Chain A
Amino acid sequence: MALLKLLGRRLGAAVLLLGVLSTLTYGLLLASPGGPEQVLLGGRPSTPETRAAIREQYHLDDPFPVRYARWLGDALQGDFGTSIYSREPVVSVIADRLPVTASLAAYALALTVAVGVPAGLLAAMRRGGRLDQGITLGALAALSIPSFALSILLLYGFAVQLGWFPVFGVGDTFAERITHLTLPAIALAAAQAALVVRQMRAAALDLAASDFLTFARARGLPRRRVWTSYALRNAALPVLTVGGLLLAANLTGSVFVEQAFGLHGLGSLLIGAVGQKDIPVVQALVLLGGVIVVVVNLLIDLAYLVVDPRVRQGAAS
């Protein structure tokens, strides 16, 4: 029952959020200088007849409420329109790019967790030692390098000098996709893993002094058991939060990495579409971004329930 209530509340909030988002985006795009004419005319000399035809075809002279209402009406019926730039249905434009971004985001998150969590725990276990200092310093360095600079470094080192990885693109088969996305995923994951390391280390340090850990050790449980079943689970909440936010960020904002590795993902699509005033594409992407954030947050909350009995009981009472 409590779960249903939570879902209901979230759904209401999501609809409201998406409504506000779409109105704001549409309004801001119309308010900024220029229009879709630049794309439609191809940046070339044009005739007055062509310009008039374009204004009529795309309803450019209608006031904002009329244009927004027209878009909203279509969108509610599931018609997100046609991209002004590529003249393809917006849904297929996005469907073309979503797999790239989704695999990159998932790969990067997997790397982030696989490296960040153990490294953070390790640093906490060896607090103040050489290993801790090394990990903390490494995390600081990874956090400081901008992703586009790291991308070029990785490309130069591993793709050009050593030739282990391809320079650009996504590949066709699954194995090819893994090869192609490894460097981008590392570039994307580096700073994020550093973030997780610090979160994990801080959370685990708090725990290290706690009574239940002392008691577990006093009971003679092996160290590994103490750290994985007791510390990891208790430190999981903040890490889950960060991980979820990182996933949402990866799905919507990996534009620098996409650009550097010649990946045609959602990030580069959004930047291009905003510049070209490709309103149908921007609107759909913004809504998608909103949905992703809402869903990821919901999943995080549900994961809290699973991981932490205290939250579970709090929700039930």
Chain B
Amino acid sequence: MTPAKTAAATAVLLLLTACSAGGATPPPADTLVWATASPPSSLDIAHGFNSPSTLVQTAVLDTMVTLDERGRPAPHLATGWTQPDPASYLFTLRKGVRFTNGSPLTADDAAFSLRRHLDPKVASQAASYFTMVKKVEPVGDDQVKVTLSRPAPAFLAVSAIAWQIVPRKLAEPHPKDLGSPEVGTLGTGPYKVSRFSLTSGVLLERNEDYWGPKPALRRVEVKSIGDPETLRLAVRSGEIDGTADLNTRDARKWTGLPGVKTIFYPGNNISYLSLAVKNGPLADVHVRRAIAHAVNRKAISDLMTAGHGGPADALLPEPILTAVYGDAPPPVPVHAYDPAKAKEELAKSGHPDGFTLAAPYASGGDTGTVMQAVAADLAKIGITLKLEPAPSDQYAARMMEHDRLGVHYVALAYGTPEPIEVLPDMVSRASAEPQGFNFSGYGSAATDEKLDALVSATGEARTDQVTDLLKEIADQVPYVPLFHTDNAAALNEKYTASLHTWTMNLFAAIRPAGR
């Protein structure tokens, strides 16, 4: 054979082997292949407080308490708790629980698992959740006492998210790299990790000795596919059974996929415009009110959520508003879409004829779409936004440095039904520092006092304080609430799932269809 022929024959041979081995062999129905847009970065919430990582963490690690389907704290590894005084909690540990390597769970493990988030050596991403924690100590064999610096009812809810129990023996020598692919993690949860790599993904096997209800899926594989279109094709071809990383704006592309069902449920998120109040034309409250009236929130909401979400009236995620106010709308004034009123407000300001403002935005993702819609709305009242695209990483870095802030589109997601998780991010003076999330720079000693009082408030007092803060925000307009989006998941019809806003362990909520 000549070299050319050999080469051609090799190529054909390769293609043939490829074809015959191609196509996915259907795995048994109690094995689920799940995809995330980015790989889990760490199996420890201290260094992987992001959705792909917590997705795996919640399957492997148990928390001391959990949230029930209405978002209220409920027993989990703690069978219950008492409050010796309003600022302390005494948790009683479930008996006979073992880590998946067989070692028993102790009160010392549980206490250490919370204490480590306050250790500067750990530099935990969950540290801001536990700033009110003063002391954590084991009491006897089966109790843990947590002393707070003052009463903070939200402590239980944030614990349900971040107080994951790991063995002290493993966690203590690894302050910086617990949960990394090299060190791994160990939990008492419904699944154990049999493989964790940032490239080939995560393989979870059911923990057959789990103390709680046995999950229906025996094995779960988690893969990551960065390109949204490839992800969609992989779900369509059946290679991937499910994903929660679909953009609701593209929901139409997913709802028509054969053999795939889409699930939508309220997400704990809020998307809004931030207006930097410190300098320039935005320092004028009439300008900010004009912007609030000029932006057509309904149109932007339709554009961005494709019907799976809705315009936001107040600056809190919908599930948090429901937790505070029930089904009644929050008693907070709303800046309705009204260009005439917007012009009136602008006429009252120091810039009656409008002005021009540079508006940087991230060229990837949704930011550009929203900012273009906002710019079009504002142009109608004479405000010109000069849109300046920047690479997403660079844009985010600038924004977190609070460098040249102006009009920004922000979308944030939260974990608990507690307004105190959100409001200090928005209007406290501490968050107005670099790396904080108060991009408006709005804040005062008086507002900080209100936030401070909200930390310890309960019942009706809490409701009133939240209303008070929301009214202040609506009146001063450091932010314009835009919309909230449903969470979405796509799932092969071989499976069924019952998901809600407070679903803590996603994989435990999925089971083979018809069982």
Contact = CB atoms under 8 A, between A and B. Distances in A.
A43 to B, nearest CB: 7
B229 A152 contact: yes
A96 interface: yes
B4 interface: yes
A178 B21 contact: yes
Given A86-B41, A166-B24, A228 B3 contact: yes
B397 A38 contact: yes
Interface in B34-91: 39, 41-42, 47-50
A87 B47 contact: yes
B405 to A, nearest CB: 14
Contacts of A44: 49, 125-126, 128
A34 interface: yes
A50 interface: yes
A286 interface: no
Given A96-B198, A275-B392, A262 B226 contact: yes
A155 B230 contact: yes
A86 B198 contact: yes
A294 interface: no
Contacts of B498: none
B297 to A, nearest CB: 25
Interface in B427-454: 430-431, 433, 435-437
Contacts, number: 187
A196 to B, nearest CB: 13
A97 B199 contact: yes
Between A88, A92, A167, the greatest number of chain B beta carbons within 10 A of the residue's beta carbon is seen for A167
B23 interface: yes
Contacts of B120: 49-50, 52-53
A102 interface: no
A164 B19 contact: yes
Given A100-B199, A156-B233, A45 B180 contact: no
Contacts of B255: none
Contacts of B394: 32-34
A258 to B, nearest CB: 9
A276 B393 contact: yes
Interface in B120-151: 120-121, 123-128, 131
B299 interface: no
Interface in A31-88: 32-35, 37-38, 40-54, 57, 82, 85-88
A224 interface: yes
B328 interface: no
Given A32-B394, A45-B128, A57-B123, A264 B199 contact: yes
B123 A166 contact: no
A152 B236 CA distance: 14
A262 B223 contact: yes
B159 interface: no
Contacts of A304: none
B123 A54 contact: yes
Contact of A51 (B2, B41, B435): B435
A111 B13 CA distance: 12
A47 B180 contact: no
Nearest to A107: B14
A88 B403 contact: no
A170 B435 CA distance: 38
Nearest to B235: A167
Contacts of A118: 4, 7-8
A29 B455 CA distance: 40
B265 to A, nearest CB: 23
Interface residues of B, number: 72
Contacts of A88: 177, 180-182, 198
B23 A163 contact: yes
B356 interface: no
Interface string B378-398: 000000000000011110111
B230 A114 contact: no
Nearest to B24: A166
Given A40-B123, A113-B7, A167 B237 contact: yes
A85 B41 contact: yes
A22 interface: no
B50 A43 contact: yes
B458 interface: no
B197 interface: yes
A139 B496 CA distance: 48
Contacts of A35: 397
Interface in B184-230: 197-200, 223-227, 229-230
Nearest to A33: B397
A179 B224 CA distance: 19
A178 B400 contact: no
Contacts of A259: 226-227
Contacts of A178: 14, 17-18, 21
Contacts of A33: 394, 397-398, 401, 403
Contacts of B430: 48
29 contacts: A32-B394, A32-B397, A33-B403, A37-B400, A40-B123, A45-B437, A47-B131, A50-B124, A50-B127, A86-B180, A86-B181, A87-B177, A87-B182, A88-B180, A97-B199, A113-B7, A117-B7, A118-B4, A118-B8, A156-B233, A159-B237, A166-B23, A167-B230, A167-B234, A228-B2, A260-B227, A260-B229, A264-B200, A274-B393
